[in-house]
Amino acid sequence: MLLKKRPQALLFDLDGTLADTILQLAKAAKSTACALGLKEPSLDETRGYVGNGVQMLLKRAIAGHFEVKDGEVSDELLTKARALFNDFYTKGLHDNYTVYPHVEETLRWCKDNGIKIAVVTNKPAMFSEPLLKIMGLYDLFDMVLGGEILDKKKPDPTPLLFVLDKLGINKEQACMVGDSANDIIPANSVNIPAVFFTFGYCRGNIEDMSQPDYKFDNWMQFLNMLKELPV
């Protein structure tokens, strides 16, 4: 569903959308596997495992593949892995990330033009909020919804609708912006216009999994589109 006029709210994913954080995620996952005596995932493997929250990232890293079956990773091992990962990742939040070009410019333009902006990420709040503060972006957002706050996470549409309700914005007046099917699918399912960034961590061909309304290769293209929409 294409935007007919400038949206009143924009919902953004974090990892692979606002910033490239794959190296800090990979370092924490590698350190966790090493501490447990398991095979350490490579950078590319970690890139393929992200998107469904830390618990699933760790399950995939422990199992060594993407499609993890129920019971394949024991609860005891997963609990140990999560405690280690929490420690390693928290200590590494200040390093190994890059905010994409024109992100802050775009967010400030949105604020200046009355568009409410929020983060809707599967990254746990214990990481997403301090990371956004370290990046200097946190105070720009009207709301930040991290993973594990609600019972459901993307690709379920519940987080998107929850944030829009808190912002007081109808879904027809909003837009979801992300880098993977986990962002586009929930928007599609409730008829929220969806923007797909090609430079993130999406696995495979996005059209095989979902249908974004817009595709951009960089943030400036997205900002130009917003400026051109009628008010």
Q: Model confidence at 211, in pLDDT bands (50, 70, 90)?
A: confident
Using DSSP, state whether 52 is helix, strand or coil. coil
Instruction: Give the pLDDT of residue 208.
Output: 61
Percent of the chain residues topping a pLDDT of 90: 92
Instruction: Give the pLDDT of residue 201.
Output: 87
Domain spans in the chain, listed from the N-terminal domain onward: 9-20+98-228, 22-91
Nearest Cα to Cα of residue 183 among 10, 5, 13: 13
Using DSSP, state whether 15 is helix, strand or coil. strand
Q: pLDDT tens for residues 185-210?
A: 999 999 999 999 999 987 556 666 67
Provide the token pair at 67.
Answer: 């499609």
Q: Phi-psi bin for 127: left (phi > 0), alpha (psi -120 to 50), beta?
A: alpha
Q: Are 75 and 169 in contact (CB under 8 A)?
A: no
Q: Are 10 and 18 in contact (CB under 8 A)?
A: no
Based on DSSP, count helices (H) and strands (E) in the chain, helices before strands. 9, 8
Q: Model confidence at 183, in pLDDT bands (50, 70, 90)?
A: very high
Instruction: Give the pLDDT of residue 136.
Output: 98
Instruction: Give the pLDDT of residue 8.
Output: 98
Active site residues: 13
Q: Model confidence at 51, in pLDDT bands (50, 70, 90)?
A: confident
Whole-angstrom distance, CA of residue 115 vs CA of residue 127: 25
Mean pLDDT of 25-39: 97
Question: Which residues 6+ apart lie within 8 Å of 148 measured at CB?
Answer: 53, 124, 125
Instruction: Give the pLDDT of residue 158.
Output: 98
Instruction: Give the pLDDT of residue 204.
Output: 53
Q: pLDDT tens for residues 81-102?
A: 999 999 999 999 999 999 999 9
Give the class (CATH, top level) of 22-91.
Answer: mainly alpha
Q: Does domain 9-20+98-228 have CATH number 3.40.50.1000?
A: yes
Q: pLDDT tens for residues 115-141?
A: 999 999 999 999 999 999 999 999 999
Whole-angstrom distance, CA of residue 140 vs CA of residue 98: 17
Instruction: Give the pLDDT of residue 37.
Output: 96
Instruction: Give the pLDDT of residue 209.
Output: 64
Mean pLDDT of 14-25: 97
Q: pLDDT tens for residues 134-168?
A: 999 999 999 999 999 999 999 999 999 999 999 99
Using DSSP, state whether 230 is helix, strand or coil. coil
Over the Cα atoms of the chain, what is R_g? 17
CA angle 196, 200, 202 (to 5 degrees): 75
Q: What is the DSSP string of the chain?
A: ---SS--SEEEE--BTTTEE-HHHHHHHHHHHHHHTT-PPPPHHHHHHH-SS-HHHHHHHHHHTSSSPPTTSS-HHHHHHHHHHHHHHHHHTTTSS-EEPTTHHHHHHHHHHTT-EEEEEEEEEHHHHHHHHHHHT-GGG-SEEEEETSSS--TTSSHHHHHHHHHHT--GGGEEEEESSHHHHHHHHHTT--EEEETTS---S-GGGT---SEEESSHHHHHHHHHHS--
